[in-house]
């Protein structure tokens, strides 16, 4: 499979991630392609949203085939207005803040939420389950089963919804 990964940031300087991991960006928000097959937005600090990131997310949302957010990534995406009127979720601990900051979004208390091409998840663990649900829907069963076996990951342990 021919896959190109783009690591996008404000500039090309090493970007600090958690826990103390540095990623070398391959492009900036200004130079990144907009017609992505998949855009994955991790859980950044909700207080750090460069204007160029909001512009990029708004433009990329028009052409990207699939957008997935993990943890507080949905709040970042919401800051661009892209999730207005859509169902979404975020880290369960941040759900109340998300509802206050972005009331135009239909926030759900779920491990992951699907609204068209937007797949949003709660915390990092919920993100793993969301991605496994996506691949189970979109890839051939033998490949999915083999991959999950290699990872020693059973996506049936937890479903989409929190226990009542």
In a domain, residue 139? The reply is no
What is the residue-averaged pLDDT of the chain?
Answer: 91
In a domain, residue 138? The reply is no
In a domain, residue 136? The reply is no
Q: Is the pLDDT of residue 77 over 70?
A: yes
Dist CA 116 CA 121 (whole Å): 14
In a domain, residue 104? The reply is yes
In a domain, residue 47? The reply is yes
In a domain, residue 71? The reply is yes
Q: How many domains does the chain have?
A: 1
What CATH number does residue 28 fall under?
3.40.50.880
Whole domain around residue 112: which residue ranges?
Answer: 8-123
Contact 91, 123 (CB under 8 A): yes
The DSSP line for 70-107 is: -TTHHHHHHHTTTTTTSEE---GGGHHHHHHH-TTSEE
Supply the DSSP symbol for 9.
E
In a domain, residue 73? The reply is yes
Q: Is the pLDDT of residue 155 over 90?
A: no
> pLDDT-based confidence at 148, cuts 50/70/90?
confident
In a domain, residue 33? The reply is yes
pLDDT digit string, tens, across residues 116-126:
999 999 998 89
């Amino acid at each position: 499979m021919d896959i190109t990964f783009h690591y996008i940031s404000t500039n090309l300087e090493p970007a600090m991630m958690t826990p103390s991991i540095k990623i070398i960006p391959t492009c900036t928000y200004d130079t990144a392609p907009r017609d992505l097959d998949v855009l994955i937005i991790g859980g950044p600090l909700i207080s750090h949203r460069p204007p160029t990131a909001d512009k990029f997310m708004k433009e990329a949302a028009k052409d990207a085939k699939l957008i997935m957010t993990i943890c507080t990534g949905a709040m970042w995406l919401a800051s661009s207005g892209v999730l207005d009127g859509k169902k979404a979720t975020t880290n369960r601990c941040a759900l109340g803040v998300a509802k206050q900051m972005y009331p135009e979004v239909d926030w759900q208390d779920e491990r992951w939420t699907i609204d068209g091409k937007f797949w949003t998840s709660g915390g990092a663990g919920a993100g793993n389950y969301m991605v496994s649900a996506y691949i189970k829907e979109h890839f051939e069963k033998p490949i999915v089963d083999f991959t999950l076996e290699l990872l020693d990951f059973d996506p049936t342990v937890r479903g989409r919804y929190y226990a009542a």
